[in-house]
Each structure stands twice: as structure tokens, then as C-alpha cells.
Amino acid sequence: MGLRRDVRLRMGQSGTSSVPPAVQARRAGTALAPLPSRWPALIAATAGLGFIFGAARLDPSPVGHGTHTQLGLPPCLWAAAADFPCPTCGITTAVAQAADGQLLDAARTQPFGLLVALAVSASTVAALHSAVFRSAVLARLCQSVVRPRVLVWVAAAALVAWGYKMATW
């Protein structure tokens, strides 16, 4: 009888057993985040939603850069002094375009800005999922992204996008 009960538990058929959900999740190969870890996920989700809705409220600059001045920031001194774009030139404009659903325009304006908007959107969804369902998906996402190889690829993408922006300036 004990062996049969163990097999039912492993197959997800709890029967009359009162196995806690965390133990069932561990046996099934999924992990539930502990309750206190929901707060960081909720904070991350709130920040992500604020970023997305804030970007959606911006009016993208038609010239492809300078949208950041709507946030109260000064105009880019690099672009004014050197007459070519800074490494982050156009990212705010591209994020605003992406938040408005203009993904192709965002890619044309600053490809890295589109990647930033997509990464924030995906992270926000993961954070919401983690906060609501107590899953560890946000933690796993952070662990997979914050690795030297991934960060090198992100830096390379930023440099290539800067080169693109210089070529289209």
C-alpha cells in the first residue's frame, strides 16, 4: 500500500495525502518561491509597469532623439558638442515608440532601445507571474541573464546599435 501511495504522489495524484504544495512542486521539478520573496517581485513588477506606462505617455521625437527632454533632462551635450550621437542616443525615443506599439519605428530609431523595451516588458510579465503565483520564474530569469556571456552579448548589441545610430545620424 505504501508503494502505491508513493507512486500516486509522484504522478500528481494526491489521493488522501496532505502533502504541502511546496513538496509536491519540488517532486514535480518546479519550485515555489517562499512568500517573503513575493515582495521583490511585486516591486519589480510595479517598476516595470511604471516604466512602460511612463514611456507610453512620452511623445517620440520625430528626429529620432531628444525625447528624454520631456522627462526634465537636459539636451544631450555630447550630440551638441561632437555633432554625432552618444551611445544612448535615441533609446528613450525608441522605447516610447515601442510602448506605443510602433515596433518597426523603434527598431529603425535605435535597435537597442527596442531591445530594452522588450526586455523590460518580458521582465515585468515574469515579475507579475512571480508575485501572483509565487513562482521562481523571475529569479530564474535573473540568474540566466546576469552571466558574463549574456552581459558581453548585451554590450556588443549596444555597441552595434550605437554604430547603426552613427550611420543613420
Cα–Cα distance, 117 to 122 (Å, whole number): 9
Mean of the per-residue pLDDT values for the chain? 85
> Coil, strand or helix: which one is 104?
helix
For a pLDDT cut of 90, what percent of the chain falls above it? 60
148 residue type, one letter? P
Q: Which of 6-15, 87-96, 99-108, 140-149 has the lowest mean pLDDT?
A: 6-15
Cα–Cα distance, 77 to 83 (Å, whole number): 9
- Res. 18 pLDDT band, cuts 50 70 90: low
Which pLDDT score, from 0 to 100, does residue 123 have?
Answer: 94
Which pLDDT score, from 0 to 100, does residue 141 have?
Answer: 86
pTM score of the predicted model:
0.75
Rg of the chain over Cα atoms, rounded to whole angstroms, equals 22
What is the mean pLDDT of the segment spanning 88-98? 96
- Beta strands of 89-131 (E only): which ranges? none
Q: Could you tell me which of 39, 78, 71 has the C-alpha nearest to residue 165?
A: 78
Q: Could you tell me which of 112, 113, 34, 107 has the C-alpha nearest to residue 68?
A: 113
- Res. 138 pLDDT band, cuts 50 70 90: confident
Q: How far is CA 119 from CA 11, 108, 125, in A?
A: 36, 18, 10
- Burial class of residue 91 in the structure, from the number of CB atoms within 10 Å of its CB (0-12 exposed, 13-18 middle, 19+ buried): buried
Could you tell me which residue, 123 or 5, shows the higher pLDDT? 123
